[in-house]
Structure 1
Amino acid sequence: MPEPGAIRAVTFDLDFTLWDLEHVIQRAEERMQRFLAARYPRVAECYDAEAMRQLRMEVAEAHPELRINVSAMRRASLRRIAMTCGYGEDMVEAAFEVFMEGRHEVHPYDDVVPVLERLRPHYRIGAVSNGNADVHRLQLGAYFDFSVSAIEVGAAKPSRIIFEAACHRAGVTPAEMVHVGDEVHSDVVGAVRYGMGAVWLNRRGEPWPDDLAPLPYVELADLSRLPTVLARW
């Protein structure tokens, strides 16, 4: 674990750490389906919401190389739909953009903005995500100095590649950075193995996985104590 007082930067996972992803995706997909029904009506004749979900699962299984690029995976499933229904690439891109508009209509958890405001004067703040949300498309982006995504670097958490990119962007060593995230394997294990500090944001009160040995990390139920934890690191 880094030496006390050594922390110069903090990174955050996004989905399920700063906002609830489940409802965001549900609303984004509903918006996209309404758009397709209005602009490309043959889609609604061939696919309902469940059929689209099943198709995405089939694409993911058939193309494991796309799993670190969720945007490419969604485009691939839309491309299959377009081909089946007799539409072209214009449908793929139009539907994807409508989905992404909804993807960025997020509602941060109540503790997020107050904590970012407290951290902003003291640390470089970054986002490190395996998803396709761009924090700089959000009002929250004003609090972030940089972001790194799996899509951008071609490697997903827990790979050291994405954490290395984050340290490079922040201009710090791993020992000077703490990563905060909700997912044990991706966020905590990945950060610790790279030599960073790790905070497990366990909003759901889940137990530590049986298949993992104990690691040097801090567990928080919400973000309210994070500034104090970082100051004492």
Structure 2
Amino acid sequence: MIRFNRAIKPFSVMSFDLDDTLYNNHPIIKAAVKAQQDYLNALPSYLAQGPKYWQQCRNEAVLQLPELADNVTKWRQHTLRLALSKLDLNEEEVEHHADAAYNAFADARSKIVVTDDVLKLLDNLAQHFTLVAITNGNVEIERFNLHNKFSLVLQAGMHGKAKPHSTLFDKAAEHLNVAKSEILHIGDSLDTDVQGANNAGCQSVWLNDQDANYAYKGLADIEIANIHALTHFIK
């Protein structure tokens, strides 16, 4: 299915969200969170704080430093140090366990295998368009099989404010020396991907294959139900 809500202008760049757009991120993030929690729960003093302790510390961390909301990696790392600093641990132990717990998360987070058909789709699209990735997530793309598929990878926090803020789209246009209207951004979220692209003056494709509720009521330029509908643009 491909539905055009607005006429598409010529574009030279295809920008992709990563998580839940090019692969199913739900089992990956679930495994990563479990790996971190398994490490932390092996510490008796952490386990004694109860199952709500992590979320309490996460909320406290972003109240202390609101800018963490735009950088999920630093938010997690800061929360780990905050949570561990409240326990009966010295400074060296806090740093050791915070690093080890984060590494447990990051290792599991990067166990992604993008399917061959999606890789082939990207290769075909790359013969006609410049491909970039714009993500709010903390996946380390160099650690799995998307590492060589994009001319540019921009991540929230590291390179600017999270979508739907326009910063990452602005940086992509500046880096590639193109007008933002020449960027067609594809993503699964109305709230971050479509709203962000629309607000930035890019064109937008909503991959509508998630069972989710969104606050944003604007329309994507194009709606698709399967990522392979993008072959429509291969001439």
TM-score (norm 2): 0.83
Q: Is 2:38 the partner of 1:34?
A: yes
For the structure 1 residues 45 and 207, does the alpha-carbon distance in structure 2 shift closer, same or farther, using more than 3 Å as the test? closer
**RMSD value over aligned CA atoms?**
2.7
Deviations 1:45-64 (A, max 9, x none): 33455432443234334542
Aligned to 1:67, the other structure's residue is in SS state: helix
Alignment: residue pair count: 226
Q: Is 2:206 the partner of 1:200?
A: yes
Unaligned runs of 5+ in 1: none
1:55 to 44, 54, 57: 57
1:21 to 16, 22, 25: 25
Distance 2:213 2:33 in 1: 31
Instruction: Specify the alignment match of 2:125 in structure 1.
Output: 119
Unaligned runs of 5+ in 2: 1-5
Distance 2:97 2:214 in 1: 44
Distance 2:65 2:220 in 1: 35
Instruction: Specify the alignment match of 1:212 in structure 2.
Output: 217
Distance 1:154 1:196 in 2: 17
Q: Is 2:73 the partner of 1:71?
A: yes
Q: Is 2:175 the partner of 1:173?
A: no
Distance 1:61 1:72 in 2: 14
Distance 1:179 1:172 in 2: 14
Instruction: Specify the alignment match of 1:82 in structure 2.
Output: 84
Q: State, as a whole percentage, how many aligned pairs show the same letter.
A: 29
Q: How does 1:102-117 map to 2 (within 5 A)?
A: 102-108=108-114, 112-117=118-123
Q: Is 2:105 the partner of 1:99?
A: yes
Q: Is 2:192 the partner of 1:190?
A: no
Q: CA deviation at 1:206?
A: 6.3
Deviating runs (4+, > 6 A) in structure 1? 205-208
Distance 2:59 2:20 in 1: 21
Distance 1:207 1:26 in 2: 20
For the structure 1 residues 49 and 110, does the alpha-carbon distance in structure 2 shift closer, same or farther, using more than 3 Å as the test? farther
TM-score (norm 1): 0.83
